[in-house]
Amino acid sequence: MTAKQNDRQKQAQLLRVFRKVHRLTGAFLFVFFFFVSISGLLLGWKKHTGGVILPKTQKGTSTDFKTWLPLDTLTSLAEAALVAEVSPEVGHKLDRIDVRQSKGILKFTFKDNFWEVQLDGATGEVLSVALRRSDFFENVHDGTVLDTFFGTSNGELKLIYSTTMGVALLVFTITGFWLWYGPKQMRKNKKRVAVS
C-alpha cells in the first residue's frame, strides 16, 4: 500500500468517525435542539408579534424624573394592579424594575410568574398588565426551566444544559464542516493519485 493510499484510508476512517459523532450527537440531543431552536426563533420575533410574546411598551405623560412619583409609591401601585387585574393569589414579589425614561414609564416584573405591569412614571396610572411570554421562552432557551422544574437553587442544571448545548453546537460545527470538506479533499487526493 502506498503512502497516498494510506493517507486516503485515514481520511476515510476519520470521515466515518465524524459522521458517527455527528449522528449520535444529533440523535441524543434532538429534543433539546428542538426546544432551543423554537424558543430562539420566538425570542427573535418577540418585539414583532403585536404584544403576543412581549407586551408593547406604552407611553407615559412625562420623561422628566422630577415629575415622577417616588419609587416606593410606584412599586406599591404596580403590586396592587397585579393583584387586582390577575388574582389575589398571584405572587407579587418584585423581581426587577425596567425604567424607560424616554417613554415616561416603568415596567415591573415579578418573581415566580411572568406578569408585567407598566405604569406612567408621573401619574402612577396603570398602562398595561400583561403576560411576558418571552420570559418563559427565555427560560426554556437557556435551561432555567430545568432548575425551576427540579427545584435546584444554584442554577446548576442551567449551567449543565448551557454547557452541553454549547459544546454540542461546537461539535456539530466541526463535524458538519468535515462531513462537507472531507469528501472534497478525498476526491482531490484521488485525482492526484490517478494523475501520478
The pLDDT tens digits of the residues spanning 150-175 come to 999 889 999 999 999 999 989 888 88
Give domain limits for the chain: 1-52+134-196, 55-131
Reference 130, options 75, 51, 77, 71; nearest CA is 51
pLDDT digits (tens, 9 = 90+) for 4-16: 677 778 888 888 8
Position 63 scores a pLDDT of: 97
Position 185 scores a pLDDT of: 75
Position 29 scores a pLDDT of: 87
Residue pair 120/127 in contact (Cβ under 8 Å)? The answer is: yes
Residue pair 112/134 in contact (Cβ under 8 Å)? The answer is: no
Q: Give the whole-angstrom CA distance, residue 128 versus residue 180.
A: 51
- Which residues of the chain are modeled with pLDDT < 50? none
Residue pair 86/80 in contact (Cβ under 8 Å)? The answer is: no
pLDDT digits (tens, 9 = 90+) for 86-98: 999 998 899 999 9
